[in-house]
Chains A and B, each alone.
Chain A
């Protein structure tokens, strides 16, 4: 499809301008509050200080960011694959659904901060534990959405496949999985945010220093030492890690659903 550039550009402006405007207004207000009320830097660093810190500490923050990123993304991948598999198994055998679902809910409702130390005991502190915690917290949304998606296949289509003599494998690959795809992708979107939270919570509890700590470790460390600019920087980096993953999932979602699913339609159509 061809589209003239003018409306494309105006849409870009319409998408980009409001959040950027809000950011500028926010930064100005931030600076004003600090100057007017003489707020000390250890409580709230000024935007100017922040900018300086960002530039100065970019090298410092990149290593922990990379650590957290790896933990969160590997955890997300494990949860994605595992969640789809668990969903598949539960949808295939009713007994498995009955047997497993309650524990999935337990897994979801147990406070992650409370269970993380247990993993430290089992697996020792470090990236492996944090990855497992990330995967664990991200598993449920994928599994639950996959199951719901697989179970809501159009009955008439199932009947059509049955009448045509399609074996279960074909029914799954050609009908049930594709029709569950929007639900699976929704699960992955939720899981993307959850995995980063999981990795950072893991690091709060199990984070190791010595140049191997992730953002969670940097956050606890700089909070204790009142190095607020660094703390802010770590928070920003965590947001970036989260947003990047979320963005990739959304892009994949758009790409896969663009021609057929309502959720991928542009708003004005």
Chain B
């Protein structure tokens, strides 16, 4: 079903565009200064910055869960999935049912969503666990279920709010690989929030560094060596390390 990646990319139109979008909450608190940001199709845009920099607000805006106070937000798709920091599963349903959940709510016919779920479960390496319940899985496995669910509704846009923050380093790296595999096979557009600079540099084609008080865009980077469509394509480690140091210094020597 997946068209070759090259045909899908339409670089002229961004899938999501923030145009001087800002957020002031009703109590007068300014969460976000006006921000301009475009998410190109089939690219991973990472938002990195300390707590309180308005990352989640931006993501919620993109999801349509909150509107900008002024400025404009354009999203050119309705097919999107949201991945939370916690797995956010139904504890009383099996892995299979959880993976199918969003597709089922959206009215995808049974046979079709079964097949999609089967492929998603296989992709995240949970084949054989279809009948298990969330409680019976480890934290990393639950997050995989969450990831499998997010793609079973076949989104164009994947919105991820620190999805791997609760995992240990090892699982975090593996989940990052899973995400890149997903991106490769489906040409997804991803908006990804993280605290981790190394994760940002590893995953992003575009990296938006945000600052606090109030939240604002410090600088937007294009990755010198972004994730490539071919699995085996080598990446320029030195350039990425350089970028990591640059971002880290920008955030005042925060975590690398």
Contact = CB atoms under 8 A, between A and B. Distances in A.
Contacts of A259: 92, 133, 135
A166 B135 contact: no
Contact of B92 (A154, A163, A260): A260
Contacts, number: 49
B86 interface: yes
A86 to B, nearest CB: 24
Grouping DSSP codes into helix (H, G, I), strand (E, B) and loop, the B interface class, with mixed when no group exceeds half, is loop
Interface string B72-104: 000000001010101010111000000001100
A160 interface: yes
A160 B102 contact: yes
B65 A163 contact: yes
B106 interface: yes
A190 to B, nearest CB: 22
Nearest to B135: A260
Contact of B105 (A154, A159, A161, A178): A161
B134 A159 contact: no
A157 B105 CA distance: 12
13 contacts: A160-B102, A163-B64, A163-B80, A165-B105, A166-B105, A170-B105, A174-B105, A179-B90, A259-B133, A259-B135, A260-B134, A261-B135, A262-B135
Interface in B120-160: 133-135, 153
Nearest to B131: A259
Nearest to A175: B90
Interface string A168-193: 00100011001101000000000000
Interface in B28-44: none
B220 interface: no
Given A156-B86, A174-B105, 4 more contacts: A260-B92, A260-B133, A260-B134, A261-B91
Given A259-B133, A260-B133, A260-B134, A163 B63 contact: yes
Given A163-B82, A165-B105, A157 B133 contact: no
Interface of A: 154, 156-157, 159-166, 170, 174-175, 178-179, 181, 259-262
Contacts of A161: 105
B63 A178 contact: no
Nearest to A258: B133
A164 B105 contact: yes
B79 to A, nearest CB: 11
Given A164-B153, A259-B135, A178 B90 contact: yes
A157 B88 contact: yes
A188 to B, nearest CB: 17
Nearest to B86: A156
A161 B92 CA distance: 16
B88 A164 contact: no
A128 to B, nearest CB: 38
Contacts of B153: 164
Given A259-B133, A260-B133, A260-B134, A154 B106 contact: no
A156 to B, nearest CB: 5
Nearest to B149: A160
A22 to B, nearest CB: 34
A261 B63 CA distance: 31
Interface in B12-39: none
A141 B80 CA distance: 41
Given A165-B105, A170-B105, A160 B88 contact: yes
B91 A260 contact: yes
A166 B82 CA distance: 15
A154 B133 contact: no
Nearest to B88: A156
Given A259-B133, A260-B91, A260-B133, A159 B82 contact: yes
